[in-house]
Amino acid sequence: MNSSLRLKSSLLSLLILTVLLAVWQIATQPLLAAPTATVTLTPEQIEYQKMLGKDPAASSASAEAGKGAGFPTPMQMAQTIYKHLSDPLYDNGPNDKGIMIQLAHSLARVGLGFALACLAAIPLGFVIGMSPLLYRAFDPFIQVLKPISPLAWMPLALYTIKDSSISGIFVIFICSVWPMLINTAFGVASVRRDWLNVAATLELSAPRKAFEVILPAAAPTILTGMRISMGIAWLVIVAAEMLVGGTGIGYFVWNEWNNLSLTNVIFAVLVIGVVGMLLDLSFARLQKWVTYVE
């Protein structure tokens, strides 16, 4: 029953993909009538077209070579994907690096910013969650700071830190910190009274109570916060790198847009999606590992 459902859903997914590709193929079909138009043009008209920057001879030639300036066809896309994946690690200077190198830069920024956010948010969330006084005292700050777009911090970060790369990491830090802080505090504050009573009757020391009762009890909630944070961080890194420039997958997208290479832009968009999915899946794994059934 379950396996047949899985088979059916995979087949349906495959069908949807085929339909999408077919629509794409039809929509990007090169117009066969266009090149014949050059024949009817008078030399004056051709001259005029050239002055406008539209060389009819060149455009028909490029259309034949499959390098039309329009939206790429699925075949061209496949070629680009193959080209990038077959040589992911080349480095031809600042504006031409392999996709893995760009990804590595982005992942390193996200990893570093996220790790710093964990180090700050989880202990602080723990303290806030344990103390109703601090919970209330910190609440207005969290509520105000949380809805600020992380990119709004960018000018302040650039001004104070004076380093674009570290500013990018700071932006990741600031956007990751809130969901983790809130979830940790909530998870810690809502640990069941019974378990705390058990800890009390067993005369547990404060560190044992924190690490052996509260942490495992709140772990699923904390992990949920981390998963949300990672999702946001991966959304934000693309925008941050577009602003900051230099390296990274976000910069790659912007750079290829400036090159008017839509195939590369589409390829980068797909890569961003796949990597985001893998990050989310790994956190889903972790979450499953710490979740307990009551």
Partner 1 sequence: METFLKVEQLSKTYVAGKPVFDGVSFGIERGEFVCIIGHSGCGKTTVLNVLAGLDQASSGHVFMDGREVLGPSLERGVVFQGHALMPWLTVRQNIAFAVRSKWPEWSRAQVDEHVCKYVKLVGLDSAIDKKPSQLSGGMKQRVGIARAFSVQPKMLLLDEPFGALDALTRGSIQDELIDIVRSTGQTVFMITHDVDEAIFLADRILLMSNGAQTAQGYVPGGIAEVVLNTLPAERKRAGLHHLDGYYELRNHIVDFLVSRAKPQDGH
Of 43-51, 168-176, 191-199, 260-268, the window that binds partner 1 (rule: CB under 8 A) is 191-199
| 257 in contact with partner 1 (CB under 8 A) | no
Does residue number 204 form part of the binding site for partner 1 (CB under 8 A)? yes
Per CB under 8 A, the list member of 28, 138, 161, 195 interacting with partner 1 is: 195
**Is there binding between residue 294 and partner 1 (CB under 8 A)?**
yes
Of 60-68, 153-161, 164-172, 208-216, the window that binds partner 1 (rule: CB under 8 A) is 208-216
Decide whether 6 or 208 has the Cβ nearer to partner 1: 208
Tell me: does residue 200 bind partner 1 (CB under 8 A). Answer: yes
Number of chain positions touching partner 1 (CB under 8 A): 20
Determine the Cα–Cα distance for residues 240 and 48; give it in Å rounded to an integer.
43
State which of residues 147, 207, 260, 292 lies at the interface with partner 1 (CB under 8 A). 292
Q: x-or-dash pattern for partner 1, window 214-233, by CB under 8 A?
A: --xx-x--------------
3-state secondary structure the chain: CHHHHHHHHHHHHHHHHHHHHHHHHHHCCCCCHHHHHHHHCCHHHHHHHHHCCCCHHHHHHHHHCCCCCCCCCHHHHHHHHHHHHHCCCCECCCCCECHHHHHHHHHHHHHHHHHHHHHHHHHHHHHHHHCHHHHHHHHHHHHHHCCCCHHHHHHHHHHHHCCHHHHHHHHHHHHHHHHHHHHHHHHHHCCCHHHHHHHHHCCCCHHHHHHHHHHHHHHHHHHHHHHHHHHHHHHHHHHHHHHHCCCCHHHHHHHHHHCCCHHHHHHHHHHHHHHHHHHHHHHHHHHHHHCCCC
Phi-psi region of 248 (alpha: psi -120 to 50; beta: other; left: phi over 0): left
Q: Cβ of residue 191: shortest distance to partner 1, in angstroms?
A: 11
Binding flag, residue 87, partner 1 (CB under 8 A): no
Q: Is 198 in the site for partner 1 (CB under 8 A)?
A: yes
Minimal distance, residue 216 CB to partner 1, in Å: 5
Interface with partner 1 includes 202 (CB under 8 A)? Answer: yes
Rounded CA-CA distance 199/292 in Å is 19
Least distance to partner 1 from the beta carbon of 133, Å? 19
Question: Near partner 1 by CB under 8 A, which window of 93-101, 114-122, 148-156, 207-215?
Answer: 207-215
201 is a site residue for partner 1 (CB under 8 A):
yes
Report in angstroms how near the CB of residue 200 gets to partner 1 at its nearest.
4
Q: Taking CB under 8 A as the rule, does residue 138 contact partner 1?
A: no
Cα separation, 66 vs 59, whole angstroms: 10
Taking the C-alpha atoms of residue 229 and residue 76, their distance in angstroms, rounded to an integer, is 36
Q: Which amino acid is residue 255, in one-letter code?
A: N
286 binds partner 1 (CB under 8 A): no
Stretch in the footprint of partner 1 (CB under 8 A) among 33-41, 53-61, 153-161, 213-221: 213-221
Interface residues with partner 1 (CB under 8 A) are 192, 194-195, 197-198, 200-204, 208, 212-213, 216-217, 219, 290, 292-294
